[in-house]
Chains A and B, each alone.
Chain A
Amino acid sequence: MFPGQFEYHRATSIKDALDLLKQFGDDAKLLGGGHSLIPMMKLRLAQPAHLIDVTKIAELCAIGESNGKIAIGAAATHDTVANSSLVRAKLGLLAEAAAAIGDVQVRNRGTIGGSLTHADPAADYPAAALALEAEIRLDHEGGSRTVKAADFFLDLMTTAVQPGELLTQVSCAPIPSGTGYAYLKHPHPASGFAMVGAAAIVTLDRNGKFATVRVAVTGLGPKAFRANAVEAALAGKAADAATITAAAAKSADGIDALADIHASADYRAELARVYVRRAIQAAVARAKA
């Protein structure tokens, strides 16, 4: 198995990548770690005539803190994000999601920008990005725009990224101390992709009631989503097991659950209820600790 023919270009800067994108238009695809694109090219599901490798652009590989936010370059690998001391200290949820991706070889190659743009319905990052209310920077010739995670995922493998745009950075406000979080998934036994994954971020008030709750689910439907019904059912309530279980029961409400040879829609919906409950419980336990 090998891909069709193409020309390989290694972009040296964001501007260089954007110029190449403009020059080759629809014939070009950006190349991150290649761990979604190369398999698709081997199957000839994608046959770009030009690949623009963005992983050697130094700016895109950096992780840093600026204006009170943690900014992660689009070409940072899953392994880099999972092991970054800054991400682990201030965006633990994102580090946990990164560490849960595939296996070490996949994490050593795949990038956060590639994963978010590919928007596989079973990808791990989207749930974390939604729960963290991440902001995603997209650069185009002559400018850039910022898209909220909530507006980024549009449908199955479809995002807000437009032709001519390059995802350059993902930024999130650091998780405040006293906040509990967890990302838990039921991995597919072969690939490791999430059959269902759940991200939860909670803070409790002085009386042990939910002050903030953000819950996001991946793997269940065509795109990752914020579980609004679950969040509403928890807001202001006591963080006890019965309340959490009752709220988590709403995890799949209104979602057109995916069904394939690996899992029926009903099974995925049940996984969502179970993993959302466990993720909230784990987040609550950490918030109390």
Chain B
Amino acid sequence: MRVNLTINGHPRGDEIEPRLLLVHYLRDVAGLTGTHVGCETTLCGACTVLLDGKAVKSCTVLAAQADGASVTTVEGLAKDGGLHPIQEGFWEEHGLQCGYCTPGMMMAAVDLLSRTTNPSEDEIRHALEGNLCRCTGYQHIIKAVQYAAEKMRAAAGR
């Protein structure tokens, strides 16, 4: 079947098998390997991308379901050579060690920051419940999100 979608602002269309999972479409067909595959069972969140602006686990979405949608992956965060505030936050606050969970963490954080500009620590923890990290102990990840929130508020003049 044919799917047409927009990935990181670029429209594209491909012939695919209906059973192709979105994560494999992104990695193997579109060549965007920033989205990771961890558990394959909807638990770890490493495969999180934005589908029409909302964080989803792309190992449990068919590429066919994304037909007509707009997808944002970690590759779509940086704009004009400048890091997205959430990327800067992970950099500045040491929000990663091995980095396996990081793209998914950042996409889940972007969903949160689209809902609230000044999340509490509890809200951040709650929003990242679907993302597992085996290295950092989460503390620095929380700080990375707080950094991004502050930076985005400052940029918006709030």
Contacts and interface: CB of A to CB of B under 8 A. Distances in A.
A108 B56 contact: yes
A64 to B, nearest CB: 22
Interface in B73-131: 108, 111-112, 127, 129-131
A24 interface: no
A1 B19 CA distance: 11
Interface band, chain B: 20 to 34
Interface in A1-30: 1-8, 10
B156 interface: no
A105 B48 contact: yes
A35 B41 CA distance: 10
Contacts of B45: 103, 105
Given A35-B60, A42-B40, A6 B130 contact: no
A104 B17 contact: no
A223 B82 CA distance: 52
Given A38-B62, A39-B60, A109-B61, A190 B43 contact: yes
B64 A8 contact: yes
A2 B54 contact: no
Contacts, number: 77
Given A6-B19, A34-B61, A104 B41 contact: no
B56 to A, nearest CB: 5
Given A34-B65, A53-B65, A103-B129, A108 B54 contact: yes
Interface residues of A, number: 29
Interface of A: 1-8, 10, 31, 34-35, 38-39, 42, 51, 53, 55, 79, 102-106, 108-109, 190-192
Given A103-B131, A104-B127, 20 more contacts: A1-B40, A2-B21, A5-B17, A5-B18, A6-B18, A7-B1, A8-B18, A8-B64, A31-B65, A34-B60, A34-B61, A35-B42, A39-B60, A102-B130, A104-B55, A104-B111, A104-B112, A105-B42, A105-B55, A106-B57
